[in-house]
Structure 1
Amino acid sequence: MMIQIYGSPRSSAGRCFVMLEECGLSYEVMPLDMMAKREHKLEPFLKLNPNGKVPCMVDNGFALWESAAIVQYLAEKHKPELLGTNATEKALVQQWAFWTMTEAQPPMVDILVQKLFVPEGKKDLALIERREKQMPGILEVLEKSLTNKKFLVGDKYSVADLMAASAVNIATGLKLDMSMFPNIKAWFAEVKSRPAWVKVSQLRGEL
């Protein structure tokens, strides 16, 4: 049975789409009207993800939510080399996955929601300003970690790069100033040149 994925490649589900493509898997994007019908809050979908959020993946009857967990699952099942080849590499991959979800992504999502989804006059400008001031310090952690390195862990692309790049992709979408981060820019260009990233960029309408 083909893998089913709920969520748009333009959402946090994007990293799941990248991993599906990296693994060369066939998958079906499931329709979910989250605006008019709010189907993500209805019982059929809540049986799959009780949080009422995307992404959610169903693999032969096994439902899994949270994008980082989906990426981890797909890698373990289909491309375990992307999770590292020894205990040290595996720990570092997990480190960057956690960093993405707990440090890098939350402020970017706050900015995104305020700028794109909150009506004019109701935007929390103080929150936007505070979060934008936090971003250089957060990105500097990634910048320094990429000094004289092509990838984050070892000498090859891994889930660490996929996860961190998914956050940087939000930053570039928000038009945050990346000029002070040459290592990130070079690394991100390398990551986005991979066929899986090119395919998902096409799905997002970025190319």
Structure 2
Amino acid sequence: MYTVIGSPRTRSMRVYWALEEMGLDYEINMAPPRSEEVKALNPSGKIPCLLVGDDAIIDSVAIIQFLADRHQQLTFPAGTIKRAQQDSFTQFCCDEIDGALWTAGKNSFIHPEELRVPAIKPTVKYEFANAMKTLEARLGDNEFVMGETFTIPDLLLGHCANWATGAKFDIPEGPVAEYFERVTSRPAYQRAKDKTGY
């Protein structure tokens, strides 16, 4: 049994979704970012945190890759070319897509108001649009980023698609929108949403 410390409408959703995809038992301990409970596990106060026995793992990507490796699901084996290609998609999502969304979020509601830079939003939307073009080119005719196999980067990209829609970023019609619809219509995603009120 795993325990996920997190809250709805955060990157915690990635962990819930991964656990649902793998059919693993877990419990949710709702705690907001920067709460004392979270800071005791992660000095930055960021969520999610995964409790594994007496150990805590922080950062959503580290958590879901740990789970995938441990249970040999949603991933190709470490040390293989396929895994390197998979990791390349993971890094692309984190750097180019999550990064743009996070910068917009920090300058909309996270940073103190006097430190926000609203003028940066057109720039990050431009970066996001470029990332969507790159995603379309890299995706090609594949069902998922690694072909017919649903893997960790698909989950990350699906989460970011939901985030982008909520933040009023444009999702281009055509292959990218169809891919996002395919990914987020998975039963495990819907179960995670239902359990967490996402």
TM bin (shorter chain): 0.7 to 0.9
Give 1:117 shift: 4.8
TM alignment of 1:32-71, pairs within 5 A: 32-34=31-33, 38-39=34-35, 42=36, 45-71=38-64
Overall identity of the aligned pairs, in %: 28
**Matches of 2:74 and 2:101, distance apart in 1:** 26
**Matches of 1:161 and 1:33, distance apart in 2:** 26
- Tell me what 1:5 maps to: 4
- Taking a change above 3 Å as real, the CA distance of residues 29 and 137 of structure 1, as seen in their structure-2 partners, is same
Contact kept in structure 2, 1:140 and 1:181, CA below 8 Å: no
- Tell me what 1:73 maps to: 66
Give 1:19 shift: 0.6
Give 1:116 shift: 4.3
- Taking a change above 3 Å as real, the CA distance of residues 22 and 50 of structure 1, as seen in their structure-2 partners, is same
Residue of 110, 130, 143 corresponding to 1:137: 130
TM alignment of 1:6-21, pairs within 5 A: 6-21=5-20
Residue of 139, 148, 153 corresponding to 2:146: 153
- Tell me what 1:26 maps to: 25
Contact kept in structure 1, 2:7 and 2:30, CA below 8 Å: no
- Tell me what 1:185 maps to: 177
Contact kept in structure 2, 1:3 and 1:57, CA below 8 Å: yes
Number of residues of Structure 1 aligned to a counterpart in Structure 2: 197
Q: RMSD across aligned C-alpha pairs, in angstroms?
A: 2.3
- Tell me what 2:95 maps to: 102
CA offsets, 1:98-132, max 9 Å, x none? Answer: 11222211111122333345688875221112111
TM-score, length-normalised on structure 1?
Answer: 0.84
Structure 1, unmatched stretches of 5+, are: none
Give 1:77 shift: 1.4
- Taking a change above 3 Å as real, the CA distance of residues 33 and 12 of structure 1, as seen in their structure-2 partners, is closer
Structure 2, unmatched stretches of 5+, are: none
